[in-house]
A and B are shown apart, each in its own frame.
Chain A
Amino acid sequence: SAVISQKPSRDICQRGTSLTIQCQVDSQVTMMFWYRQQPGQSLTLIATANQGSEATYESGFVIDKFPISRPNLTFSTLTVSNMSPEDSSIYLCSVDGTGLQTQYFGPGTRLLVL
């Protein structure tokens, strides 16, 4: 399986600011995914990011709030914009095990918005 890292691992931010989360994979992958896990909740898919095209957002998530970049096959960023306390969550990136239809997850970024 791919080795996935995320930066930062955790952060405390003030409301109204933005935070960019990085996701790095040790091998080239076609698709990368961003999830949000609110406290005590399950995972919710935010968007799917393919290299060279705009991200595809799920219902309830918009590009202005969660802009995503995918500049190459091993890297992606998710920005949480104009944060409010409701954005306090764990944000996880995942990649498909190419050809295996399996998603492998990064360690997550724990975000607390005050």
Chain B
Amino acid sequence: AQKVTQAQTEISVVEKEDVTLDCVYETRDTTYYLFWYKQPPSGELVFLIRRNSFDEQNEISGRYSWNFQKSTSSFNFTITASQVVDSAVYFCALSEAMNNFNKFYFGSGTKLNVKP
């Protein structure tokens, strides 16, 4: 079974729209980290956020916000007032204490297209 599921393969929005990228994870570990990475067309993976399993507080960073809910095993990512530069593939990832947090499980990614 997949440990990280990103059900949305591709999303298209018009600039200034809000968009939420979904991430559902599966783990038996009680201690784990969740991540979001951005991969623009250049190919480099850019780290966006890390959240540990004991911290369910939502986080906001500029136009980005993250909603972590252990009850639904979800770690969703919202971009407010999207911009063309947000166009990229976004990956959610999980690491677990049982692997010393070294093995990252990546979701299949969501391609976001922001049109002007």
Interface residues of A (CB under 8 A from B): 1, 31, 33, 41-45, 48, 90, 92, 94, 96, 100-108, 110
What residues on A are CB-neighbors of B108 within 8 Å? 41-42
| Nearest CB on B from A47, distance (A) | 11
Question: Given A42-B107, A42-B108, A110-B43: A102 and B102 within 8 A (CB)?
Answer: no
What residues on A are CB-neighbors of B107 within 8 Å? 42
What residues on A are CB-neighbors of B45 within 8 Å? 43, 92, 94, 105, 108
Q: Mark B89-112, 1 if CB is under 8 A from A, else 0.
A: 001000100000111101111000
Q: Mark B73-100, 1 if CB is under 8 A from A, else 0.
A: 0000000000000000001000100000
What residues on A are CB-neighbors of B102 within 8 Å? 31, 33, 48, 96
| Nearest CB on A from B92, distance (A) | 10
Closest to B45 in A: A105
Q: Tell me, in angstroms, the Cα distance from A104 to B37 when the chains sit together.
A: 10
For the A-B complex, the count of residue pairs with Cβ-Cβ distances under 8 Å equals: 48
Interface residues of B (CB under 8 A from A): 33, 35, 37, 42-47, 50, 91, 95, 101-104, 106-109
Q: Tell me, in angstroms, the Cα distance from A110 to B33 when the chains sit together.
A: 29
Closest to B103 in A: A45
What residues on B are CB-neighbors of A106 within 8 Å? 44
Count chain A CB atoms within 10 A of each CB in B33, B102, B107, B108 and give the residue with the most.
B102
Closest to A44 in B: B106
Please determine whether B103 and A42 come into contact, CB atoms closer than 8 angstroms. Answer: no
Please determine whether A104 and B91 come into contact, CB atoms closer than 8 angstroms. Answer: no
Please determine whether B35 and A43 come into contact, CB atoms closer than 8 angstroms. Answer: no
Closest to A10 in B: B43
Closest to B49 in A: A102
Q: Tell me, in angstroms, the Cα distance from A25 to B35 when the chains sit together.
A: 22
Please determine whether B91 and A43 come into contact, CB atoms closer than 8 angstroms. Answer: yes
Q: Tell me, in angstroms, the Cα distance from A107 to B44 when the chains sit together.
A: 4
Please determine whether A105 and B103 come into contact, CB atoms closer than 8 angstroms. Answer: no
Please determine whether A107 and B43 come into contact, CB atoms closer than 8 angstroms. Answer: yes
